[in-house]
Amino acid sequence: MVPWATLLLLGLLFSCCCLGHSSLTGAPRVYLTYKELLETRTARPFSFNFNTSDYRILLVDQDQERLYLGARDFLVALDLHNINKEPLIIHWPALPNQENECRLAGKGQRGECFNYIRLMEPLNRTHLYACGTGAYHPVCILINRGWRSEEYLFRMVPHSLEPGKGKCPYDPRQPSMAVLINNTLYAGVHVDFMGTDAALFRTMGPRPAIRTEQHDSRWLYDPVFLQAHVIPDSSDHNDDKLYFFFREKALEGAVGPAVLARVGRVCLNDDGGQRSLLNKWTTFLKARLVCSVIGEDGVETFFDELRDVFLLPTQDEKHPLLYGVFSTLGSVFRGSAVCVYSMADIRTVFNGPFAHKEGHNYQWGPYTGRVPYPRPGACPGGTFTPGLRSTREFSDELVTFVRAHPLMFHAVYPLQRRPLLVRTNVPYSFTTLAVDLVDAVDGRYEVLFLGTDQGTVQKVIVLPKEQGILEELTLEEVEVFRVPAPVKTLWISSKRQQLYVSSDMGVSQLSLHRCREYGEACADCCLARDPYCAWDGQRCARYSHTAKRRSRRQDIKHGDPLRQCRGFNAKATTVGSQTCA
């Protein structure tokens, strides 16, 4: 905890003496090494005595209070309260003949000839569906987890093994996404052994299997799929769409960035075309997500490499907030940013002009000709197409238009047209994020948990200051793994106040707060400005907004210990009397 005393001193100077904004962007108030974190007894690494790695897939099951984990050759069911309490284990290695074939095909030098779990989704109340790479031979199985966790049931269903093509990649290094809704699987995945054909697939379920157009870079251009969510667009379920997030090579031209962030969408009730786009999506559209900063010189710097997306639900299920983590890996400029998007802005872009290009030597522009009816991207039977029963009834003109115009002309900009958080010239980049809404004495705060490529998790709040300036406070940074490795997945449980973090090297569970680490005095607690924590008269402790107000001292907005700590020791323990007294 080296920077702690210095930071506290600076914190005191800044907040008590009104020196303006805190300029120590990204420097955490508390930094805990792995050893120090374990000493606080607020974190628990999962210890697994099997030879495995690549703990990428985490699935939280709130009903059964379990955390399902998919790693190399293993599926594990953990207790959400204590991930080391009696884990239930399924060993699911690749079949020996598949492993041999994998090696004969010249693979295996980088550990590809194992069964890497890449999908684990709830199928119904009692069963999970899981898929693995199967040594370059994707396979899927059913898992029986029983009705209740007390049954301690976690077992592969005999004879349920089936091909996983179109659900899980062959190559474990190729990222994929999948979501299982109403027995229907939507997967963004590479579907061939060579790993050159990436598509958004729909399989299983009652509707026909469909995919994106093959070998058409206007649709998908070397995509890296990240996440997919069903977000309703109206009260009519026929309008329900799958929104998905990915990055891909830029189509827009050689001058711009090499990689762009995208939001795409399809209608859940798409059945494909009748004469053309047979068994292909006829409602597929995509748009660019912009996350950029404008420097004092007016130059716009873009963060285009989308790494992760977090969907924060609101009261209205049609309007979740979307948090994206971006990075940029330019040669001169390295950094990360978090941008927040509204569904209203995303829908506006999808309702706007389509991107169009006359020919090879032309620039992309807005399509100004007549747009077919119903409007491309509208779902059959929904608000805008009441008379139609299926996409197979779409006119040839509509299908031809959709095929050639999957991209929207306008890009989606973040709220306030700027990032919520930016980090530049730091030796790390963000890889993942999760967001929690926390009620404090003086309001509700969004707390960001950000995983880094160095195996740490940062806890950050962003406060509005005068004239629309944002103040970023990094409350803490903790090393979550014994062996540092980039954070792959974060799962937050607000209900349980726990964060589950995974990487290639391990899985850890940590509490969302460690109030006592801020120090022994009221001032320490107050200056920390952590919405989870308040001075309770004796120590810095978990604040609950249902507790009596007067007994809790907390001031997130100003962090002013003079006002809050009257009658208590208003001085921070680790700093002398040279500041506010």
Ligand X SMILES: *[C@@H]1O[C@H](CO)[C@@H](O)[C@H](O)[C@H]1NC(C)=O
Residues that bind ligand X (CB under 6 A): 51, 123-127, 142, 181-182, 230, 237, 240, 268
Q: How far is the CB of 182 from ligand X (least distance, A)?
A: 4
Q: How far is the CB of 302 from ligand X (least distance, A)?
A: 34
Reduce the DSSP state of residue 215 to 3 states and report it: coil
Of 268 and 291, nearer to ligand X (C-beta) is 268
Of 122 and 353, nearer to ligand X (C-beta) is 122
Q: How far is the CB of 18 from ligand X (least distance, A)?
A: 51
Q: How far is the CB of 227 from ligand X (least distance, A)?
A: 16
Q: How far is the CB of 147 from ligand X (least distance, A)?
A: 8
Distance CA 357, CA 40 (A): 59
Place of tokens 């978090």: 338
Q: How far is the CB of 160 from ligand X (least distance, A)?
A: 8
Each as own residue / partner, the long-range contacts of residues 86-94 (CB below 8 Å, 24 or more positions apart, any chain) are 86/152, 87/46, 87/48, 88/152, 88/153, 88/154, 89/50, 89/154, 90/143, 90/154, 90/155, 90/156, 91/50, 92/117, 92/130, 92/132, 92/141, 92/156, 94/132, 94/133, 94/134, 94/135, 94/137
Between CA 538 and CA 545, with CA 539 as vertex, the angle to 5 degrees is: 100
CB burial class (10 A; 0-12, 13-18, 19+) of residue 568? Answer: middle
The 3 state secondary structure assigned to 346-362 is HHHHHCCCEEECCCCCC
Of 3 and 108, nearer to ligand X (C-beta) is 108
Structure-block tokens of residue 412: 């989606």
Q: How far is the CB of 111 from ligand X (least distance, A)?
A: 6
Q: How far is the CB of 112 from ligand X (least distance, A)?
A: 11
Indicate left, alpha or beta for 311 from its phi (over 0: left) and psi (-120 to 50: alpha). Answer: beta
Of 161 and 181, nearer to ligand X (C-beta) is 181
Structure-block tokens of residue 181: 């809704």
Of 128 and 291, nearer to ligand X (C-beta) is 128
Of 107 and 513, nearer to ligand X (C-beta) is 107
Of 75 and 399, nearer to ligand X (C-beta) is 75
Of 124 and 279, nearer to ligand X (C-beta) is 124
Compute how many other C-beta atoms are within 10 angstroms of the C-beta atom of residue 425: 9
Q: Do the beta carbons of residue 357 and residue 351 sit within 8 Å? A: no
